[in-house]
Structure 1
Amino acid sequence: MPEYDVVMIGNFAKDNIIVDGVEEIASGGGVYFGSVVIKRLGARVLVVTRLHPDDFSRLEELREEGVEVFAIPADGTSGIANYYQSTNMETRICHPIGFGGKYSLSDIPDFDTKVILLSPLFSGEVDLHFLQNISRKAPVGMDIQGFVRVPVENDLIFQPWADMTEGLKCITYLKVDKAEAEYITGLSDIHEAAIKLHSYGPQEIVITQSSGVTVYADNKFYTAPFTPKSLKGRTGRGDTCFSTYITKRLSESAETACKWAAIVTSLKQEVPGPWRGSASNVEKKLGQES
């Protein structure tokens, strides 16, 4: 049976990135941004994803990076139209433009892995039954956006996750952004929100916001800033941060993994597409900060 450090499950995306009215079609999704990071950090990674066969050629970019890919043919390919103004790349408007469909347990190949990273784009990809069963194979890291970010007509809006109480019991590492944390818990303070989310079952909480990343693990908080020189590569920030954290957490403390996540994410935000830097350069930056 194939062995990996991380197995990522989530729909590949063909996104529209619109900046000041200028449109570009770009690959996206957590499995796209995250898997390249994981591989660049030296881990063995498998991507299990759904997309239309017409878009299978987009997966070659991942394979060229050394990422193994198991592609499931779907009736469509997921996608989001992301609208930005160059004067404020921090704020975006998102509209769903496609859906690659829902995962079933029969879709998933056999594997052994140290951790499973669920990276759904929005609700509908993964249900409670799938989550409960996949969590029996390995510890699960999950981005909450795939359960509370719901496509309604031409918009993506927050809606309650009906199975949240049971679902979060299956999760070891939970990633949320500040807005999601406040929506779910009703708490605007991210430290209070992290403690509340932890009470549902996840052992470690990773919260991102524009200024940086905060981790709650072992009853302690760790925070590291994002320091990008530009936001040209803003899309994929959260996916990059969480994938870095999960990968480094396999061998490092939560504190160290948090620092790595912040540095890699800062560098990623400067350039569109996945982070293609080197672990050695990150180590140098860590040494400069210590």
Structure 2
Amino acid sequence: MVLVVIGPVTSDLIVIGEDKFHKIGGATYYQSLVFEKYFKDYLAIVNCADEDLVNDFPAKDKVKVILKDDTHFFINDYPNPDNLDVRRQSSNFANIPILKDDLEEILPSQIDGFVINPLNRYDFPIETIDYLKSFDVPIFMSIQGFLRVPEGKVNGNYEIGLSYFDDLDAILEGVTSIFLDETEANIIGTDFDVDEIVVTDGSHGSRIVTDDDEIKIEAVKCENVVDTTGCGDTYMAAYIVQRLISKSIKQSGDFASLIASRKISNIF
């Protein structure tokens, strides 16, 4: 089963209290770490202006780069090192959409599912989403990026706000599973025509909403919190892996919680 994971790779600045460090990021990067360890049959497709950003991926031969004229840049600021659930985030809001033409020549001949990771509303035009839907395979989608809007500009970057996206209903039509956090769920709700809605809430755990049930997943306690950046992306990939293997929602959620906890401790 071949999963195609698509979304930007980013250049990030992480600020935890007084400590600062640079690293690459993006949902597709963090998910590739999970897929490489637990699900070998995947291809990562990223868009950026600097091919060297893929050097930190666990398997460069499983990464294809769509070269653009800009790269997503994020500042993830955790002002209280003792509470990494609280994050202030800003971005350059790069306008580097992934187009159907970008994908047609690089998609593999066998595709059994897509994992779609927008970081802002520019990344996946609805025409691209419709093209991916035409393959008639399961689609797992993070929707955070579709909700992000630029607000006041600070030091050259935009503060990130969240609001409903007019095309969201059309984008989500026919999608298998969507992933968001509680802040985003409070804005748009969970009333969408998809098989599963996975809602994460940091150290408070997560919940999976289906047509006839809501399953609560407890967070796995983490004794050594190092960096929570990418935790939700890690959870998403781990959930998808286990869901494809076991078919059990509860088992998949518990596994995702465990792997996310390990990521936070940098023992992943």
> Are 1:87 and 2:82 an aligned pair?
yes
In the alignment, what sits opposite 2:65? 71
In the alignment, what sits opposite 1:177? 181
Distance 1:7 1:107 in 2: 14
Map 1:115-134 to 2 at 5 A.
115-134=113-132
> SS of the counterpart of 1:60?
helix
In the alignment, what sits opposite 1:228? 222
Look up the equivalent residue of 1:14 and give its one-letter code.
Answer: S
Runs of 4 or more, structure 1, over 4 Å off, are none
In the alignment, what sits opposite 2:167? 163
In the alignment, what sits opposite 1:270? 265
Per-residue Cα deviation, 1:225-268 (whole angstroms, up to 9, x for no partner): 22222331201111001111111111212221111111111111
- The answer as to whether partners of 2:93 and 2:150 remain within 8 angstroms in 1 is no
> SS of the counterpart of 1:36?
helix
> SS of the counterpart of 1:201?
coil
Distance 2:24 2:123 in 1: 18
- The answer as to whether partners of 1:216 and 1:222 remain within 8 angstroms in 2 is yes
User: Which of 209, 218, 225 does residue 216 from structure 1 map onto?
Assistant: 209
Q: How big is the shift at 1:48?
A: 0.7
User: Which of 196, 199, 208 does residue 207 from structure 1 map onto?
Assistant: 199
Q: How big is the shift at 1:78?
A: 0.6
Look up the equivalent residue of 1:69 and give its one-letter code.
Answer: V
Distance 1:29 1:168 in 2: 21
Alignment identity in percent?
22
In the alignment, what sits opposite 2:12? 15
Distance 2:243 2:134 in 1: 20
Distance 1:141 1:151 in 2: 25
> Are 1:140 and 2:134 an aligned pair?
no
Provide TM-score, normalisation by structure 2: 0.89
In the alignment, what sits opposite 2:149? 150
Distance 2:95 2:34 in 1: 23
Q: C-alpha root-mean-square deviation of aligned residues, in Å? A: 1.7
> SS of the counterpart of 2:39?
coil
- The answer as to whether partners of 2:150 and 2:160 remain within 8 angstroms in 1 is yes
Look up the equivalent residue of 1:11 and give its one-letter code.
Answer: P
> Are 1:261 and 2:259 an aligned pair?
no
- The answer as to whether partners of 2:35 and 2:241 remain within 8 angstroms in 1 is yes
- The answer as to whether partners of 2:93 and 2:120 remain within 8 angstroms in 1 is no
Distance 2:253 2:218 in 1: 10
Look up the equivalent residue of 1:49 and give its one-letter code.
Answer: V
Distance 2:213 2:197 in 1: 11
Q: How big is the shift at 1:113?
A: 2.1
Distance 1:49 1:32 in 2: 9
| Structure 2, unaligned runs of 5 or more | none
> SS of the counterpart of 1:91?
coil
- The answer as to whether partners of 2:14 and 2:76 remain within 8 angstroms in 1 is yes
Distance 2:232 2:260 in 1: 8
Q: How big is the shift at 1:67?
A: 6.1
Matched residues, number: 255
Distance 1:249 1:66 in 2: 25
In the alignment, what sits opposite 1:285? none
Distance 1:38 1:67 in 2: 14
Q: How big is the shift at 1:21?
A: 3.2
User: Which of 11, 26, 30 does residue 29 from structure 1 map onto?
Assistant: 26
